[in-house]
């Protein structure tokens, strides 16, 4: 933190304090937020960063109608909000966002719309999605895709091709869970999970883990491994409810995160040698290619069909085999990052020769959140 470089320009409590049985916990956050925004003389649309604890920053941002470029859900107990201030100061200094809203609300006494088991049924998803037989990501993440198909003309065979191509990459990777070749018919004839998605279009469920250690570029030279520089980053959230996604054919969180990362890195798409797109389901690389700007809307299916992302293609994608064939423990993003690092070090089983820039793009929840990291083995 640079002394005096960031200031608090709005501050307020909830309109009432004490016993407020007429407000749920999330509305307490919003009430305080609207008061603070008014205190600062701002509009909601002036806010481009959100930090909170106790509720998810996704829920708070969507509830208030904010499209953030920076979020912090650091939840470490009662001092979380002090940490949020510190992180926000760093983020602002770094240019990640300009105006950060930090919220707290807790229905500690009345217990209205509070977290935990009871909170689940009182949450907006608990009220407006859970009653309809939802069964985790396979039944939710997949819902937007039929709309994408109708609007772009993409076919089920083209969706199957995503799994086929990634299996080809997995075949080169001794650590991949599945390495046997697949045909489009194999994919289409597998057990149906959530029509039109078969089992081979849904990610694996496996055990595993990973870790990264980061340090300053200055110090990085003194370590035994070849440094991998972070040259651009982005993040955003959209909504905790898939039914409330703004546009079923494109992820707003992807677009905001990707554009920010590319702008920070100062690179064009032609500069990218290697791409990872978190593939919890087979349509994710389609959305990712378009929302990151590698393809125009409706062109990603042909791009994959024509083998541009396959071995020998001009843009190798998910070279470890991805969540569809390599592994997926539940939070796959770490494995995508590990593969980008391997590619930049030149040590990947399916190494892209001469690769200098890797884009690693992740999703959180069901198109709920996104983060993008652009790495390079050359210091800009």
Catalytic residues: 278, 326
How many residues interact with another protein (rule CB under 8 A)? 53
Is there a cis peptide before residue 196, judged by omega within 30 degrees of 0?
Answer: yes
As given in the structure block, the two tokens for residue 113 are 């719309």
Nearer to another protein, 77 or 131 (CB): 131
Q: Which residues ranging from 289 to 348 are in contact with another protein (CB under 8 A)?
A: none
**Binding region for another protein (CB under 8 A) out of 114-122, 300-308, 331-339, 340-348:** 114-122
| 135 contacts another protein (rule: CB under 8 A) | yes
Task: State how far the alpha carbon of 167 is from the alpha carbons of 170, 299, 349, in Å.
Answer: 5, 22, 14
β-bridge mates for residue 362, sequence order? 371
| 128 contacts another protein (rule: CB under 8 A) | yes
CB of 100 to another protein, least distance (A): 17
| 212 contacts another protein (rule: CB under 8 A) | no
Task: State how far the alpha carbon of 57 is from the alpha carbons of 29, 70, 152, 211, 253, in Å.
Answer: 11, 10, 32, 24, 13
Could you give the 3-state DSSP secondary structure of residue 126?
helix
Nearer to another protein, 136 or 209 (CB): 136
**Binding region for another protein (CB under 8 A) out of 69-77, 141-149, 344-352, 353-361:** 141-149
User: How many Å apart are CA 359 and CA 316, to the nearest integer?
Assistant: 11
Nearer to another protein, 102 or 374 (CB): 102
Block residue for tokens 């983060």: 371
Q: Which of 159, 375, 370, 73 is nearest to 250 (CA)?
A: 370
Nearer to another protein, 111 or 293 (CB): 111
User: How many Å apart are CA 304 and CA 310, to the nearest integer?
Assistant: 7
Among 100, 182, 194, 355, binds another protein (CB under 8 A): 194
CB of 296 to another protein, least distance (A): 21
Among 89, 193, 259, 334, binds another protein (CB under 8 A): 193
As given in the structure block, the two tokens for residue 248 are 């079923």
Give the pairing type, strands 369-376 and 229-237. Answer: antiparallel
| 236 contacts another protein (rule: CB under 8 A) | no
| 248 contacts another protein (rule: CB under 8 A) | yes
**Binding region for another protein (CB under 8 A) out of 207-215, 238-246, 256-264, 354-362:** 238-246
User: How many Å apart are CA 79 and CA 93, to the nearest integer?
Assistant: 22
| 157 contacts another protein (rule: CB under 8 A) | no
CB of 367 to another protein, least distance (A): 12
CB of 12 to another protein, least distance (A): 14
User: How many Å apart are CA 347 and CA 339, to the nearest integer?
Assistant: 9
As given in the structure block, the two tokens for residue 115 are 């977290």
Long-range contacts of 182-186 (CB under 8 A, 24+ apart): 184/157, 184/160
Nearer to another protein, 65 or 266 (CB): 65
**Binding region for another protein (CB under 8 A) out of 67-75, 115-123, 204-212, 266-274:** 115-123
| 83 contacts another protein (rule: CB under 8 A) | no
Whats the size of the chain, residue-wise? 380
| 37 contacts another protein (rule: CB under 8 A) | yes
| 259 contacts another protein (rule: CB under 8 A) | no
For residue 364, the surrounding DSSP H or E stretch is: strand 357-364
| 127 contacts another protein (rule: CB under 8 A) | yes
Exposed, middle or buried: residue 165 (CB in 10 Å: 0-12, 13-18, 19+)?
buried
Among 109, 118, 226, 297, binds another protein (CB under 8 A): 118
Give the pairing type, strands 70-72 and 49-52. Answer: parallel
CB of 136 to another protein, least distance (A): 9
Among 40, 83, 134, 188, binds another protein (CB under 8 A): 134
Q: Which of 363, 364, 360, 362 is nearest to 374 (CA)?
A: 360
Q: Which residues ranging from 41 to 70 are in contact with another protein (CB under 8 A)?
A: 43-44, 62-65
Q: Name, in order, each residue with C-beta under 8 angstroms of 99's C-beta and a sequence gap of 6 or more.
A: 42, 46, 47, 48, 49
Residues within the interface to another protein (CB under 8 A): 21-24, 27, 30, 34, 37, 43-44, 62-65, 112-113, 118, 120-122, 124, 126-135, 138-140, 142-147, 150, 191-197, 241-244, 248
């Amino acid at each position: 933190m640079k002394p005096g470089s960031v200031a608090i320009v709005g501050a307020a409590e909830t309109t009432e304090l004490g016993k407020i049985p007429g407000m749920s916990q999330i509305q307490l956050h919003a009430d305080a937020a609207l008061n603070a925004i008014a205190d600062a003389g701002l509009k909601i649309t002036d806010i481009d960063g959100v930090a909170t604890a106790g509720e998810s920053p996704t829920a708070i941002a969507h509830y208030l109608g904010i499209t953030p470029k920076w979020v912090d859900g650091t939840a470490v107990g009662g001092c979380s909000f002090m940490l949020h201030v510190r992180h926000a100061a760093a983020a602002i200094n770094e240019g990640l966002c300009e105006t950060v809203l930090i919220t707290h609300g807790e229905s500690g006494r009345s217990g209205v719309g509070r977290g935990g088991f009871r909170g689940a049924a009182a949450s907006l998803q608990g009220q407006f999605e859970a009653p309809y037989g939802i069964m985790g990501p396979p039944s939710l993440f997949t819902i937007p895709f039929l709309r994408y198909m109708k609007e772009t003309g993409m076919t089920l065979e083209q969706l199957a091709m995503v799994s086929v191509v990634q299996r080809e990459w997995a075949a080169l990777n001794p650590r991949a869970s599945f390495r046997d070749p697949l045909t489009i018919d194999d994919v289409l004839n597998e057990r149906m999970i959530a029509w039109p998605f078969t089992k081979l279009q849904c990610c694996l469920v496996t055990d595993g883990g990973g870790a990264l250690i980061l340090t300053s570029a200055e110090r990085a030279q003194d370590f035994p491994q070849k440094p991998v520089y972070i040259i651009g980053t982005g993040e955003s959230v959209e909504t905790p409810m898939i039914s409330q996604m703004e546009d079923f054919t494109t992820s707003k969180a992807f677009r905001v995160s990707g554009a920010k990362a590319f702008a920070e890195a100062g690179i064009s798409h032609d500069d990218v040698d290697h791409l990872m797109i978190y593939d919890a389901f087979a349509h994710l690389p389609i959305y990712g290619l378009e929302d990151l700007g590698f393809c125009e809307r409706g062109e990603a299916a042909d791009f994959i069909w024509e083998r541009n992302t396959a071995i020998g293609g001009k843009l190798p994608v998910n070279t470890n085999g991805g969540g569809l064939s390599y592994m997926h423990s539940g939070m796959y993003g770490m494995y995508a990052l590990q593969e980008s690092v391997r590619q930049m070090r030149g040590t990947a089983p399916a190494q892209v020769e001469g690769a200098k820039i890797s884009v690693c793009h992740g999703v959180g929840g069901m198109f709920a959140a996104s983060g993008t990291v652009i790495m390079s083995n050359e210091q800009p």
